[in-house]
Structure 1
């Protein structure tokens, strides 16, 4: 697929985003694609900081939520990007692979998180059972952060899927050298 909105090169980077090129925005194809709309990317930065770096879910649980969201969206980019990030944050290949399968195969805390993600996709809300389980696992703020994470990565997934954004070369290389081995 030839995208009408491919990731912008450094040469094509919008002047109004010059201050963001050396940071997170210039580092990933998803944000280089989003740079086609400079005002959106600039507004995105504060939410990204919270969802990615300040979440009360913690890095490990956050990756579980992101992987299940990427799988639900059918976003190859998000799924593959977060295989690598999930490994860096303590997830085994077996654990990652389970997140792309039936909920019955997902174990322990991951099942609580994945069920909540599935609730949001399938029912458009958290069930009472998921709310109770989430508050017990990650607290009230964690429950809200889970919802925000699903929404954040859903928006990214829609952008990625709509415009065929290619996987970042470093991630593609890492996965070629070290494929998922469930």
Structure 2
């Protein structure tokens, strides 16, 4: 594997970002959903939203669910990022990996721990709970079932709503990863993509990233 290039097998663009001449009010609602300043007038900075805006009813339904998964979720944020990163690794989803590495770093996860997400639940750095979270992803990915032993550890730490939320995080990012791959959604122009070796294509060390709404400046950071 070359430095900063995780050997992505990208699909060519199949559904492009919505062209400006097709921007209806319904499409602009999609652009503005996450609260980006100026998005109603200028479009979203993210290609995922600009592609989803080709189908506003679907996009808004997905965004409302996505807001629950990303922001309003009852499961601990650390566990959610472990799930999302492991899903992205399994799917080789460049788009998901690039953004969620920064989210995980912002939670205090180290680059060494993020690297161990690629190794999986048997890496030496994990607590019993973290290993169970990662094993839950692997169980569902490989068998479409969660082993009893995995579930028992999760149930010791999470209540019913947290368990439900955690499973839906996994499902949401698998669904999103499929969509991004099938549609050929590319990272935005000027982005220096983060590889699974945790360097960027330019050889830089990844930095933290804020989720929508985490501060008033969350949308001002470089993509």
TM-score (norm 2): 0.72
**1:166 matched to 2:186:** yes
Larger radius of gyration: 2
- Counterpart of 1:4 in structure 2 is 14
- Flag the structure with higher helix content: 1
Q: 1:110 maps to which residue? A: 130
Q: Which segments of 5 or more consecutive residues in structure 2 lack a partner in the other structure?
A: 1-10, 36-43, 195-199, 208-223
- Quick one: which of 180, 190, 205 aligns to 1:179? 205
Tell me how far 1:14 sits from its aligned partner: 4.1
Residue of structure 2 aligned with 1:145, choices 144, 151, 165: 165
**Runs ≥4 in structure 1, deviation > 6 angstroms?**
none
1:95-131 CA distance string (max 9 Å, x none):
1111112431151132111000111111102121122
Structure 1, unaligned runs of 5 or more: none
Cα contact 1:84–1:171 (8 A) shared by 2: no
The residue correspondences of 1:1-182 to structure 2 (distance < 5 A) are 1-8=11-18, 12-24=22-34, 26-105=44-123, 107-108=126-127, 109-169=129-189, 172=192, 175=200, 176=202, 178-179=204-205
Closer, same or farther in 2 for the Cα pair 1:143/1:169, shift >3 Å?
Answer: farther
Matches of 1:20 and 1:34 in 2, distance apart? 8
Q: What is the alpha-carbon root mean square deviation over aligned residues?
A: 2.5
Say which SS state the counterpart of residue 119 (structure 2) adopts: coil
* 2:30/2:53 contact within 8 Å kept: no
